[in-house]
Amino acid sequence: MHPIHRIILFKTIDAFTLLISFDDGVRQSVDFRPILKGELYGPLRDLSLFNQVSIDPEAHTLVWPNDADFDPDTLHDWPIYAQAWEERARQWELRAA
């Protein structure tokens, strides 16, 4: 059975970097800068938009006004997924060029 992780709190610790707390006590520091590319995540390079992040009350994950969001399980295990996300973001950037 796959556990379902819920974000309960986040705190901005630097520009584009959040400290995210989960309901199981795990905390992850995520620097989103390397993945803010492409049609959905690229607009979040505008710090004023990025800072409008909130926790979705139903999905318990981070969401932004432009409908960008992340699977809470991905954020929970960010060290496992970060490199793959960065590679995906580079591909989005190449397609847009």
| CATH number assigned to the domain with residue range 7-96, chosen from the 4 options 1.10.40, 1.20.120, 1.20.140, 3.30.2020 | 3.30.2020
The pairing of beta strand 54-55 with beta strand 17-22: unpaired
Q: Domain limits of the chain?
A: 7-96
* Higher-pLDDT residue of 97, 74: 74
| 60 vs 56: CA distance, rounded Å | 5
Query: Which candidate, 16, 54, 13, places its Cα nearest to that of 33?
Result: 16
pLDDT of residue 92: 86
| 91 vs 97: CA distance, rounded Å | 10
| 43 vs 28: CA distance, rounded Å | 23
pLDDT for 35-79, tens place per residue?
999 999 999 999 999 999 999 999 999 999 999 999 999 999 999
pLDDT of residue 97: 65
- Mean pLDDT (the chain, rounded): 94
pLDDT of residue 93: 82
In this prediction, residues 11-27 reach a mean pLDDT of 97
